[in-house]
Amino acid sequence: MRRGGIDVRGRVATSRATHHARAGVTGGAALKRRRDKRHALVAALWHNVAVTSRPRARSRARSIGVIGGVLAIALLYVVVIVLYAAGGRIEHAEASSGGEGVPLELTLTPVDIDGAASTMSVRINPTDLGSYSSDDFSMDEAVHVLVTGTNGARTIEYGADEVVGAETVALTLDGFIEQWPFDRYTAETLIAPMRVDADGQGVPIPYVLTADGRVPGWNVVAEAVSTVSVVTEDGTITLLGVQFTITRAASTVAFGLVLLTLMVIAPVLVLTAAITVYRGRRKIEVTMLGWIGAMLFATIPLRNFFPGSPPIGSWVDYLIVLWVIAALIAGLVIFVFAWLRNGPDGVAAAQSAGDADAQGDASDADAGSDGGAGGGE
């Protein structure tokens, strides 16, 4: 149909086609927008889940670390207590000299060990007088007990009809306390009880030698040894001795290692704090100087608290204590450098901030007074 030379049908068809094309484009764009919005929503949800789960994971890891640290400390505590309860016992040793008659029984009991003096105090106690006593507390005849391994040989004399009691002797140790806490000592003693014959000569008598007891903080291994044999009226008598091997108990070693670990932790903390302040990640506080100084002066008392009191100059001083003190002083120097470097600028900045605060307060006061005057008018 044509009107005035214009094809109406063609124009309508073209308009419809254009409308459909525009509608298709508009619908595709809307669909794409909805799809993009859906993807953005999913991405946001995943992001929220990730952001939420990350702090939870960190909190969980932190909790696990705290629990693990507490359990480790508790385990260390239990181990030290168990080692202390189980240590210190002397391994039992016993030997007999042979001969006829009921022997005299002597018991050796270590009572104290001094590594610095290289001595061990041993108590010698006649626990059974055998056939040499009729009343079980005094000798029927004089008996002398020869003890070697001391600072010179020593003789313990039990006179006839005198009450017999325990005597304490100091044995000389062979070892080096400078190797604390892994120092090791040895000692050997010969015990020979003898009666005095008509000629005034000492004649060995039958006896039994026993080593037993407990020394807290030490492991003592006693081993009975046989030396020479002597033929007497009581038969062949073998002279007996005891060899001691002495080491520090595992509890003492653990205690010393814990103290050394604490000494190492102190300079690590000081250096961490000082370096952090020097790099400007933390504010400078002059009170930290007192804290670092306290850590420095606490090192020597902690060093003197070591069990066994190793002398100054032991290997532990060269290996740990010296470097702990050096690290603490280094931390102190680093902190002082940071304080000096920040000095004038930090003071000027603090003064500027204080002046700005004062001006702000003055402006607020002026504004308040102006407001009050305006209200009065």
Contact 124, 156 (CB under 8 A): yes
Strand 184-196 relative to strand 202-204, pairing: antiparallel
Do 281 and 303 belong to one domain? Answer: yes
Asked if residue 340 belongs to a domain, the reply is: yes
Do 60 and 174 belong to one domain? Answer: no
Q: Quote the pLDDT of residue 374.
A: 47
Do 225 and 117 belong to one domain? Answer: yes
pLDDT digits (tens, 9 = 90+) for 156-198: 888 888 888 899 999 999 999 888 989 999 999 999 999 887 7
Do 105 and 59 belong to one domain? Answer: no
Do 67 and 119 belong to one domain? Answer: no
* CA distances in angstroms from 22 to 10, 54, 65, 286, 305, listed in the order given: 18, 47, 63, 75, 92
Walking along the chain (377 residues) 10 residues at a time, the average pLDDT comes out as 49 51 55 69 60 63 82 81 71 83 90 91 90 82 89 84 88 91 92 83 88 87 88 86 91 88 93 91 86 90 87 90 95 91 58 54 53 45
Do 118 and 194 belong to one domain? Answer: yes
Domain span at residue 64?
2-84
Distance CA 161, CA 137 (A): 9
Q: What is the CATH number of the domain that holds 159?
A: 2.70.170
Do 225 and 110 belong to one domain? Answer: yes
Asked if residue 242 belongs to a domain, the reply is: yes
**Tokens standing for 153?**
């040989």
Q: Quote the pLDDT of residue 319.
A: 92
**Tokens standing for 114?**
């001094």
Distance CA 223, CA 90 (A): 10
> The pTM is what?
0.68
In the chain the beta strands, taken as DSSP E runs, fall at 2-3, 6-7, 90-91, 93-96, 104-114, 119-128, 143-147, 154-158, 167-172, 174-175, 184-196, 202-204, 207-211, 218-232, 235-248
Asked if residue 60 belongs to a domain, the reply is: yes
Task: For the chain, give the longest Cα–Cα distance.
Answer: 172
Comparing C-alpha atoms, which of 269, 289, 306 is closest to residue 340?
A: 289
Q: Quote the pLDDT of residue 29.
A: 65
Do 63 and 143 belong to one domain? Answer: no
Do 36 and 184 belong to one domain? Answer: no
Asked if residue 316 belongs to a domain, the reply is: yes
Q: Quote the pLDDT of residue 41.
A: 66
Asked if residue 369 belongs to a domain, the reply is: no
Asked if residue 370 belongs to a domain, the reply is: no
- The total domain count for the chain is 3
Asked if residue 367 belongs to a domain, the reply is: no
Q: Quote the pLDDT of residue 371.
A: 47
Q: Quote the pLDDT of residue 322.
A: 94
Asked if residue 376 belongs to a domain, the reply is: no
